[in-house]
Amino acid sequence: MTSMANVWNKNCLFISLSLILIAVLGLALLYVPKGELHLLLCDRHTPARDLFYRYYTTMAEWFPYIVCGAVLLFGRIGDGIFASAAMIGSSLSTQVLKHIINAPRPITWFGEHMPEVELPLVEGVRMNHWFSFPSGHTTSFFALALVLCILLTRGGWRGRKDSIDRRNSIYRGYVLQLLLFVAATLGAYSRIYLSQHFALDVLAGIMVGVSITLLCYGIFSRFEGQKWYNYRVFSKK
């Protein structure tokens, strides 16, 4: 409980903003029909946005592996295992749900239910047709963002405590959480913008990414005092 309470205290902004985003999407889905909400959220295309979201969304496919590898090599081995478990666990959970539910993607759903609507697609993006729920990219974006929040706000990946005063440390932590939340939210929105997912898929992806990451931290934080957890591949000693 102490470790989880500490995570909440140091990452309350990111977690709170994620819960607010989940609530906002949930309320929108209650009052706005699925198709109308998607069109409302994705129908603001410009060439600059098309280019940005086309490439930004792909970060969820490779960047988490770089981060996990970097933590394993240059941080504490336990932190690297936690980060890897969070990313792999959230991704596997998403894939299991995808194949159980097998929901149609927007391009398939609109073709069946609203064939008169022409979705604003982005040139060069390969459109998927099934396994829409939940959004795997969204899951990866939010899982990675929370992993980085946990590791960087507690200083575990640097292996030392900051020498700056408490007030500045808290301020930097809030700025870091806000930036990571914005980065994750942009990644989640890219899935709607590109018409690869519905808002419901994104909402579920956020929930899976955050919950699995917190679960993994709750498990691995119990071993933080053990020697293997604090082992470093590139030790200075």
* Dist CA 24 CA 87 (whole Å): 25
Instruction: Determine the straight-line distance between the first and last CA of the chain, rounded to whole angstroms.
Output: 33
When pLDDT is averaged across residues 156-168 and rounded to a whole number, the result is 52
Determine the pLDDT at residue 8.
77
- Given a cut of 60, whether residue 19 has pLDDT beyond it is yes
- Would you state the structure tokens that stand for residue 4, as one six-digit string? 């989880």
Say which range, 8-12, 115-119, 182-186, has the weakest mean pLDDT: 8-12
pLDDT in tens, 42-88: 988 999 999 999 999 999 999 999 999 999 999 999 999 999 999 99
Domain range list for the chain = 2-223
* Dist CA 135 CA 52 (whole Å): 19
- Given a cut of 70, whether residue 14 has pLDDT beyond it is yes
What length is written for the chain? 237
- Given a cut of 80, whether residue 205 has pLDDT beyond it is yes
Determine the pLDDT at residue 199.
98
- Given a cut of 60, whether residue 186 has pLDDT beyond it is yes
The confidence band for 225, taking pLDDT boundaries of 50, 70 and 90, is: confident
- Given a cut of 70, whether residue 164 has pLDDT beyond it is no
pLDDT in tens, 89-129: 999 999 999 999 999 999 999 999 999 999 999 999 999 99
Determine the pLDDT at residue 122.
95
- Given a cut of 90, whether residue 153 has pLDDT beyond it is no
- Given a cut of 60, whether residue 1 has pLDDT beyond it is no
* Dist CA 61 CA 233 (whole Å): 26
Whose tokens are 């808002």? That residue is: 199
When pLDDT is averaged across residues 185-199 and rounded to a whole number, the result is 98
CATH topology of domain 2-223: Vanadium-containing Chloroperoxidase; domain 1 (1.20.144)
The confidence band for 156, taking pLDDT boundaries of 50, 70 and 90, is: very low
The confidence band for 166, taking pLDDT boundaries of 50, 70 and 90, is: low
Longest dimension (CA), the chain: 67
